Structure 1
């Protein structure tokens, strides 16, 4: 199996590398009976799914914080983030029961006691979180509404190299309409954008993809 060299922006232990490899194995096994990712993308899992999610590690999350992953699907990016940040609590929210059960089972098999799954509509989740993440789930304005409803403040201020509190959305394509609608709904919102191609180098898959940080 190809090593996961350079797949994260943070230093990972051998155990974390092994957990990421085990996650790949478990997800692909579940994918034979539960549609967690498209069958066509299975052979590109490490690039199109795992590396894509791990771009969120270009900045860190503070120890002790809670992250909610809206529309987690097969645990992307919830499970990779839980592996990379063992002192952080991650909750994957998805409306499809089979996906939620798969995420819960995979997390248990990987020994992740900081990763949870909740099944239901995002509007109905009654938890609290310091950060929200999402990967191709909903328009930015809708995601921001979900985040604002459940957001709580950190005890301290994020340090150097850590994400400011808010929403981190993995998005692609022309986002001008989504950002315009977001600003129309909340004129005080701050938006920061990071091109994945500038982070990872020229790549056909990442060409129009980016991280949108909203706070």
Structure 2
């Protein structure tokens, strides 16, 4: 069973295992992740996404995943946080159809998919946006702020835009501040969450409108 460093139920872990199996099967026909991808590779993708489970989201929030592909991180988040409504957005129809298929087969009732360009998104308005290696921060922030809605924040929860990123982020952050000088950017390394082998990966949170 998929090993994750978070307090998930046996049922949630079983659903994530089933999702990995679906990814492995479907990736042979649809380029959901980089090919070829072994089961270990796919488990690593899911584990990476679950770094976002290190902190809760606002209760009852709508979370939009920009450029979700085959559901990363939308599917792991929907499984880990059943009180959320998660929408996977992607321009490739085969990928959003895959998310819908996974939602039906695994009975993930709080997961939906929207096919089209992020600039024209007109689905459920997000309280929080997420993304994994999709676009620069400035672009993601523009997508988020065009359609986001406010929500009451209680305690230490995710808000605004939350991204899984890798490598040197200095240039991206500078570009974001050029177009949105008043936003606050917080970068947290993943080594404390997932282990030292993830030292080159970070969670980037952007807040402030």
Quote the Cα distance in structure 2 between the aligned partners of 1:85 and 1:114.
9
Quote the Cα distance in structure 2 between the aligned partners of 1:57 and 1:209.
15
Q: Secondary structure at the match of 1:57?
A: helix
Q: Secondary structure at the match of 1:79?
A: helix
Please give the per-residue CA displacement for 1:77-105, whole angstroms capped at 9, x wherever unaligned: 00000001111000000000000101100
Quote the Cα distance in structure 2 between the aligned partners of 1:4 and 1:109.
19
Query: How does 1:72-83 map onto structure 2 within 5 Å?
Result: 72-83=68-79
Number of aligned residues: 205
Which residue is equivalent to 1:214? Answer: 206
Which residue is equivalent to 1:171? Answer: 165
Q: Secondary structure at the match of 1:117?
A: strand
By how many angstroms is 1:200 displaced? 2.2
Quote the Cα distance in structure 1 between the aligned partners of 2:188 and 2:46.
18
By how many angstroms is 1:8 displaced? 4.0
2:193 is equivalent to residue 199 of structure 1: yes
Which residue is equivalent to 1:147? Answer: 144
By how many angstroms is 1:56 displaced? 0.4
Structure 1's consecutive aligned runs of 4 or more residues displaced over 3 angstroms after TM superposition are none
Which residue is equivalent to 1:187? Answer: 181
Which residue is equivalent to 1:98? Answer: 94
Q: TM-score, normalised by structure 1?
A: 0.92
Please give the per-residue CA displacement for 1:156-190, whole angstroms capped at 9, x wherever unaligned: 22323x21x20011111111111001011111100
By how many angstroms is 1:197 displaced? 2.0
Which consecutive residues of structure 2, in runs of 5 or more, have no partner in the other structure? none
Say if 1:89 and 1:8 are closer, same or farther in 2 by CA, change over 3 A.
farther
Q: Secondary structure at the match of 1:22?
A: helix
Q: Secondary structure at the match of 1:92?
A: strand
Please give the per-residue CA displacement for 1:23-65, whole angstroms capped at 9, x wherever unaligned: 0011111111001011233332212x01110000110012210
Contact 2:185–2:206 (CA under 8 A) maintained in structure 1: yes
Query: How does 1:52-91 map onto structure 2 within 5 Å?
Result: 52-91=48-87
Contact 2:5–2:193 (CA under 8 A) maintained in structure 1: no
Quote the Cα distance in structure 1 between the aligned partners of 2:5 and 2:79.
11
Which residue is equivalent to 2:22? Answer: 26
Q: Secondary structure at the match of 1:17?
A: helix
Contact 1:8–1:57 (CA under 8 A) maintained in structure 2: no
Quote the Cα distance in structure 2 between the aligned partners of 1:90 and 1:190.
24
Contact 2:24–2:37 (CA under 8 A) maintained in structure 1: no
Which consecutive residues of structure 1, in runs of 5 or more, have no partner in the other structure? none
